């Protein structure tokens, strides 16, 4: 069996790749691995986004936890970072989120946090998978009073909102903000915290029905938000993804402001206040070269990792950094939370806007991006790594590298959550790199779809 866990937990089409049986086994094996050294009845938080399949998978997951004698602490629909935070401050043994983040509604996923609110290491994930594959029958089956139960927490969103408000020392009176909740898990918390901080808020896509999460909205499709910002004369717009762990902003001119821009803006501000530890920002190999140039110009060092906010986090913890993230909008403020947090990121960005008195379009100028093209090759899931051993594809990559020497770069990687290989090229000539990326992606797709 191939590796069960991707870059952000177990993910697949609900009721096919991620079915009731697998969710039950993940509940059992996860509860065992994460709490086997505890001397008390384990308590595990369970949160979810707004997908229609969330109820089914929650039932299975909770059954698995309870069958191990654990207490499933039900948080209901919550942003992923809220589950991480609540797991930590409620002194729970672990947390689980049922979400497929930015993916379409038919997908779902299951990701675990440890007692401190951190995503699991590869080693712990592999241990859970090993139990599922080889030793489910050997797990204990408590009876009588040993069987677990579920405990429903009322309105946990208020604790999360109070925490978010505590991370800044300004209010947003006078700011007019448009927000797109992606019909996802931010639909309660994001409007609540912004209104309580004094902002005038205009909201779209805050009516989840189980099937409209991320549908033509949110951080992966900002067209409606960009139009709204212009129409209402907003100071800026904020777009979250389905589980609210990422943010893409929109400036007052209706232009997108991605994670690279946001990180550079807040890094400069944090450094000026003496709050940027080791004057370093952690990003991934996908961040634009313009981002690194901008940070260096401001006296900030950039450290790059593999794609995935979990790898950014590992680097931050290992070397004592407190700011890191991805171009896609996953940004981690380790002084406050243990995972990417879209609403927290929004508050930090808004604080810079308020404190500097500058528009977001002015602040955005810190990064002058090189043209960057990303093309997806749709292939069979089992073939995602085969391109690396294909001589024809390797030769094509080598030709592109030689042609782009000193004026750009190429990054090719299999998606951690979807049956895709992503081909990214960066260089001075946008049309040229687009053509090269499309040709290479086409070759990979032709051979392995």
User: What are the pLDDT digits (tens) for 71-106?
Assistant: 999 999 999 999 999 999 999 999 999 999 999 999
Select from 3.40.120.10, 3.30.1360.20, 3.40.50.170, 2.40.37.10 the CATH code of 159-364.
3.40.120.10
Domains 10-154 and 159-364 are alike in CATH topology: yes
Average pLDDT, the chain: 94
Domain range annotation of the chain: 10-154, 159-364, 372-448
Phi, psi torsion values for 203, nearest 5 degrees: -115, 140
Please state the pTM of the whole predicted model.
0.88
Q: Which CATH class is domain 372-448?
A: alpha beta
User: What are the pLDDT digits (tens) for 360-396?
Assistant: 999 999 999 889 899 999 988 888 888 888 899 999 9
Contact (CB, 8 A) for 68 and 103: no
Cα 301 from Cα 343, distance rounded (Å): 25
The yes-or-no answer on residue 361 being catalytic is: no
Mean pLDDT over residues 135-139, rounded?
Answer: 91
Separation of first and last alpha carbons in the chain = 20
Q: Residue 1: its pLDDT value, please? A: 58
User: What are the pLDDT digits (tens) for 219-268?
Assistant: 999 999 999 999 999 999 999 999 999 999 999 999 999 999 999 999 99
Phi, psi torsion values for 89, nearest 5 degrees: -80, -15
176-180, 399-403, 442-446 — which one is most confidently predicted on average?
A: 176-180
Mean pLDDT over residues 108-130, rounded?
Answer: 93
Residue of 53, 99, 101, 328 with catalytic role: 101
Query: Is the pLDDT confidence value at 163 over 70?
Result: yes
Query: DSSP for 159-224?
Result: HHHHHHHTT-S---TT-EEEEE-TTTTTTTHHHHHHHHTT-EEEEES----SS-TTTT-GGG--HH
pLDDT band for position 37 (cuts 50, 70, 90): low
* CATH number belonging to domain 10-154: 3.40.120.10
């Amino acid at each position: 069996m191939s590796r069960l866990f991707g870059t952000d937990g177990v993910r697949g089409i609900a009721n096919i790749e991620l079915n009731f049986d697998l969710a039950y086994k993940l509940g059992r094996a996860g509860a065992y691995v994460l709490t086997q050294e505890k001397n008390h009845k384990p308590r595990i938080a369970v949160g979810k986004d707004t997908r229609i399949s969330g109820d089914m998978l929650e039932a299975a997951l909770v059954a698995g936890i309870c069958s191990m004698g654990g207490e499933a602490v039900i948080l209901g629909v919550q942003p992923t970072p809220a589950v991480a935070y609540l797991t930590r401050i409620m002194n729970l043994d672990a947390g689980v989120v049922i979400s497929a983040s930015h993916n379409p509604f038919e997908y779902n996923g299951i990701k675990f946090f440890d007692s401190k609110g951190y995503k699991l290491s590869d080693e712990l994930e592999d241990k859970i998978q090993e139990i599922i594959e080889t030793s489910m029958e050997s797990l204990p089956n408590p009876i009588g009073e040993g069987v677990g139960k579920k405990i429903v927490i009322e309105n946990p969103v208020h604790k999360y909102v109070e925490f978010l408000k505590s991370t800044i020392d300004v209010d947003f009176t006078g700011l007019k903000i448009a927000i797109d909740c992606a019909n996802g898990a931010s639909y309660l918390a994001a409007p609540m915290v912004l209104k309580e901080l004094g902002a005038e808020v205009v909201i779209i896509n805050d009516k989840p029905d189980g099937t409209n999460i991320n549908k033509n909205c949110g951080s992966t499709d900002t067209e409606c938000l960009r139009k709204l910002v212009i129409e209402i004369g907003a100071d800026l717009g904020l777009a979250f993804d389905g589980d609210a762990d990422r943010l893409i902003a929109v400036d007052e001119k209706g232009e997108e402001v991605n994670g690279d821009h946001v990180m550079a803006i807040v890094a400069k501000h944090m450094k000026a206040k003496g709050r940027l530890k080791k004057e370093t920002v952690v990003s991934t190999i996908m961040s634009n070269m313009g981002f690194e140039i901008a940070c260096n110009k401001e006296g900030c060092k950039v450290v790059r990792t593999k794609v995935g906010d979990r790898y950014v986090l590992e680097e931050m913890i290992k070397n004592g950094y407190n700011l890191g993230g991805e171009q896609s909008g996953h940004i981690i403020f380790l002084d406050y939370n243990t995972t990417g947090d879209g609403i927290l990121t929004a508050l930090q960005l808004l604080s810079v806007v308020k404190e500097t008195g500058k528009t977001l379009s002015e602040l955005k100028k810190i990064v002058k991006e090189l043209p960057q093209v990303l093309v997806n090759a749709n292939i069979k899931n089992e073939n995602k790594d085969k391109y690396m051993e294909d001589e024809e594809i390797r030769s094509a990559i080598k030709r592109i590298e030689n042609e782009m020497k000193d004026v750009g770069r190429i990054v090719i990687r299999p998606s951690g959550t979807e049956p895709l290989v992503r081909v990214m090229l960066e260089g001075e000539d946008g049309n040229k790199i687009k053509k090269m990326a499309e040709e290479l992606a086409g070759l990979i797709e032709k051979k392995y779809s």
